[in-house]
Every structure is written in structure tokens, then in C-alpha cells.
């Protein structure tokens, strides 16, 4: 069974898509707000535009978080730069632009923050292409102890592991809604460092299995410290929250 390589562990609290309760998600502004709030790590999503540019974005289109509706798979960087991705959240963030991976990595380096980067595979997108673009650039920018790459896509994680075979150099996280019975097969296949589950669907049995196997266990997206509290006793190592300060 996969065993965890014990190195510099991430903190217990991470900001989900930046400080997304107080700033537009997955933007440079949201990461700056997370830093101001005292967060050491952020969780962000990365995917490719139609021209192959890696950008920090969650949805398959821009309808929810921009001033226009376009599919990411049909956007060039030039077109994406024209979108306002802040005004939807509040007037104070009007003019915020979609962040490229390079811009975000530069900001995280400047702020000395850690990153859980989710390889986001929306329908019809190529996991190998995403990994081939994202993994080398991210590894060049962040040290191993400041990075976890996660994904719901086993293909994307396998592609990432092919690029960097050393599990101490690239820590991979298995993302699930509910952690399945056969999660250990996935963990062995990609030499996983961690398992990430939806907090309301986490069971004590699965939590104990993950911890016995020596892997880290993280939960998303928890914003109610009182309701979440029993899960700390199950061995959960960390929480991804829209505002981690509520747990302090």
C-alpha cells in the first residue's frame, strides 16, 4: 500500500479558490485577500484555454464569473483578457482579469504561499495536454513542500506522475466527492500523497483507512466549524474553506 513520505506538512486550513467568500474566486485578488487574512495556502483550479494557455478557472465557461458567456475551449488569451471577472462579485473588484498560471505562480512566489492546484478536466478536455503544460511550469515555480496537485481525473493524475515520477518531488492528491471503497487502488496507481473528500460525505471508516495507509486526508469545502468538528477526531489533516478564519 502507498505510504506517505513525511515531509513539510501543509497547514490545517486552506483558502478555497483564494479567499472566495470575500473576493472573486480563482483570481489574483482572491489570493491577495487570502494572504492578508493570514492564510498560508490556497486551493485553485487550472485548465487550458482553446489556444493552450493555462489559466486559473473552475467552470467550463465564463457565464457564472465574468461579464460574458464563452466556452473556455473556444477562447484565446487575447479574448479572455478582455473579460471582467471581478464585477460579478462586487463593484470593488471591477476590472479584475482572468489570471494565467504563470501570473498566479509568480504571485504565490512573491507572497511565499503554498498551493493545492486542481487539474480541472471539464467535459471533452485532454488530461494529458493539461498535465504536460501545467506540471513542468508549476514544479519550476514552487518547491515540493509548497505544492499538492489534485484532480478528480485519474487520467490527469497518471499523466502528472509520468512527468514527475518521484512522489517526494510531486505530491499528488486524489479528489473525490465520496471516497469509494477502492480508493487504495487509485492511490497505488499514482503514488498518492493525499486523499481529498467532500466533508459531508466523509465517513469515519474511510477516514481511518486513509490514515492507516499513511496518507494525508483533506476535506472540502467546509464553512461550519461546529458541524465539522467531529471529523477532526477521525484524523482529518486539513480543511479547504471559503474563509478559513471561521475555524480560528
Q: Name the nearest CA neighbour of 134 among 213, 54, 59, 216.
A: 54
Q: How far is the C-alpha of 248 from the C-alpha of 244, rounded, in Å?
A: 7
Q: Is 35 a catalytic residue?
A: no
Catalytic residue among 16, 22, 35, 196: 16
Q: How far is the C-alpha of 138 from the C-alpha of 44, rounded, in Å?
A: 13
Could you tell me the sign of the dihedral formed by the alpha carbons of 32, 34, 36, 41, in that order?
negative
Q: How far is the C-alpha of 226 from the C-alpha of 38, rounded, in Å?
A: 21
Q: Is 58 a catalytic residue?
A: yes
Maximum CA extent, the chain: 51
Q: How far is the C-alpha of 79 from the C-alpha of 141, rounded, in Å?
A: 26
Q: Name the nearest CA neighbour of 127 among 98, 104, 159, 102.
A: 159
Catalytic residue among 5, 22, 35, 58: 58
Active-site annotation, residues: 16, 58
Amino acid at each position: 500500500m502507498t505510504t506517505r513520505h513525511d515531509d513539510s506538512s501543509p497547514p490545517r486550513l486552506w483558502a478555497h479558490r483564494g479567499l472566495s467568500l470575500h473576493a472573486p474566486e480563482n483570481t489574483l485578488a482572491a489570493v491577495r485577500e487570502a494572504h492578508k487574512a493570514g492564510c498560508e495556502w490556497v486551493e485553485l483550479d487550472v485548465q487550458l484555454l482553446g489556444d493552450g494557455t493555462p489559466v486559473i478557472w473552475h467552470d467550463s465557461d465564463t457565464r457564472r464569473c465574468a461579464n460574458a458567456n464563452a466556452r473556455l475551449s473556444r477562447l484565446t488569451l487575447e479574448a479572455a483578457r478582455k473579460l471582467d471577472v471581478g464585477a460579478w462579485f462586487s463593484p470593488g473588484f471591477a476590472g479584475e482579469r482572468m489570471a494565467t498560471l504563470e501570473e498566479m505562480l509568480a504571485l504565490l512566489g512573491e507572497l511565499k504561499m503554498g498551493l493545492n492546484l486542481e487539474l480541472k478536466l471539464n467535459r471533452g478536455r485532454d488530461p494529458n495536454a493539461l498535465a504536460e503544460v501545467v506540471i513542468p511550469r508549476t514544479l519550476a515555480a514552487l518547491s515540493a513542500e509548497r505544492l499538492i496537485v489534485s484532480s478528480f481525473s485519474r487520467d490527469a493524475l497518471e499523466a502528472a506522475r509520468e512527468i514527475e515520477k518521484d512522489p517526494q518531488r510531486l505530491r499528488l492528491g486524489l479528489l473525490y466527492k465520496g471516497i469509494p471503497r477502492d480508493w487504495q487502488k487509485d492511490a497505488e496507481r499514482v503514488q498518492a500523497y493525499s486523499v481529498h473528500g467532500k466533508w459531508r460525505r466523509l465517513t469515519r471508516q474511510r477516514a481511518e483507512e486513509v490514515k492507516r495507509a499513511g496518507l494525508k486526508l483533506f476535506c472540502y469545502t467546509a464553512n461550519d466549524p461546529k458541524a465539522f468538528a467531529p471529523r477532526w477526531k477521525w484524523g482529518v489533516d486539513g480543511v479547504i474553506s471559503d474563509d478559513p478564519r471561521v475555524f480560528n
